[in-house]
Structure 1
Amino acid sequence: MALYEVTRPIGRCPSHPGALLDELIPATGKTKVEIANMLGISRQQLYDILGEKKPVSPSVAARLGKMFGDGAAIWLRTQAAYDAWHAERETDLSKVPTLKVA
């Protein structure tokens, strides 16, 4: 089994999918309003994702995956990594034991 080295510092928050999307949109030559219309979502919903105020839902991930040809999974994994990083830091885990499984 191959070992992979972490390229991102462990303490650094993973990118929100909205940040990645914000970098992709200019390369399309389309406006954000055009992208929202093509995705079938409201302009406000797109701006909330781009502003990292809203998560990428499975439905939006499927639409983004179709639009950019990379599938929904990459968008969902990016959102999950972002959410997990925040949950591990914002949730009080002090009373939750760590079990050893035999």
Structure 2
Amino acid sequence: MAIQNTGGMQRRPTHPGEMLREDFLPDYGLTVAGLAEALGVSRQSINELLRERRAVSPEMALRLGRLFGNAPEFWLNAQRAVDLWVAAADIKDEVARITPLDAA
């Protein structure tokens, strides 16, 4: 017997920038400048991502996946979870007013 998870996530999902800052950079001994150089992007781009002021783009997901040996989908799914959580919180009342349709 399966227990359904209908409650929804109560906390904001972890931003990919936090994952990089807290897990990946220390584990690989990288600095902001080192990560930027390894990815071929500006330090400003990396700094904004680490400060959670920039989202992971598909291009950045490809670069991160290649560098760390994981799938680009890992990075995009983490970003998608944050984006959906924020959007759901922003328009929660509007969505609640929508009446679901029944198939004819």
Q: TM-score, normalised by structure 1?
A: 0.85
CA offset at residue 47 of structure 1? Answer: 0.7
Change (3 A) 1:12 1:33: same
Residue aligning to 1:73: 73
**Within 1, Cα distance between the matches of 2:78 and 2:55?**
10
**Within 2, Cα distance between the matches of 1:36 and 1:93?**
39
How many percent of aligned residue pairs carry the same amino acid? 36
CA offset at residue 29 of structure 1? Answer: 1.4
- Structure 1 stretches of 5 or more lacking a match? none
Residue aligning to 2:88: 88
CA offset at residue 42 of structure 1? Answer: 0.7
Does 84-93 or 44-53 show the bigger shift?
84-93
**Within 2, Cα distance between the matches of 1:49 and 1:58?**
13
Does 9-18 or 57-66 show the bigger shift?
9-18
**Within 1, Cα distance between the matches of 2:54 and 2:40?**
16
CA offset at residue 36 of structure 1? Answer: 0.6
Change (3 A) 1:5 1:16: farther
Q: Which amino acid aligns with 1:41?
A: V
Aligned residues: 99
CA offset at residue 41 of structure 1? Answer: 1.1
**Within 1, Cα distance between the matches of 2:76 and 2:3?**
21
CA offset at residue 94 of structure 1? Answer: 4.2
Change (3 A) 1:41 1:4: farther
Residue aligning to 1:97: 99
More helix by share: 2
Residue aligning to 1:27: 27
CA offset at residue 59 of structure 1? Answer: 0.2
**Within 2, Cα distance between the matches of 1:61 and 1:86?**
20
**Within 2, Cα distance between the matches of 1:82 and 1:28?**
25
